[in-house]
Amino acid sequence: MNAPDRYERFVVPEGTKKVSYERDTKIINAATFTVEREDHTVGNILRMQLHRDPNVLFAGYKLPHPLQYKILVRVRASFLDLTGKVPISHCHLLVQTSDSWILGFCKWVPGFDGRFQIHTTSQSSPMQAYNQAITDLDKELDYLKNAFENEKSRFQNAKY
Distance CA 133, CA 126 (A): 10
pLDDT tens-digit map of 13-23: 888 888 888 88
Domains of the chain: 1-160 (3.30.1360.10)
pLDDT tens-digit map of 94-117: 444 444 445 555 554 444 455 544
Widest distance between CA atoms in the chain: 63
Distance CA 127, CA 149 (A): 33
Highest mean pLDDT among 2-6, 41-45, 117-121, 155-159: 41-45
The phi and psi torsions of 31 (rounded to 5 degrees) equal: -155, 160
- C-alpha of 75 from chain center: 14
At residue 129, the pLDDT reads: 65
Distance CA 147, CA 81 (A): 33
18-21's contacts with Cβ under 8 Å and 24+ in sequence apart are: 18/101, 18/103, 18/104, 18/118, 19/101, 19/104, 19/105, 21/84
The DSSP symbol for 120 reads: B
pLDDT band, very low/low/confident/very high, at 128 (cuts 50, 70, 90)? low
pLDDT tens-digit map of 73-85: 888 887 655 445 5
Classified as helix, coil or strand, 130 is helix
pTM: 0.53
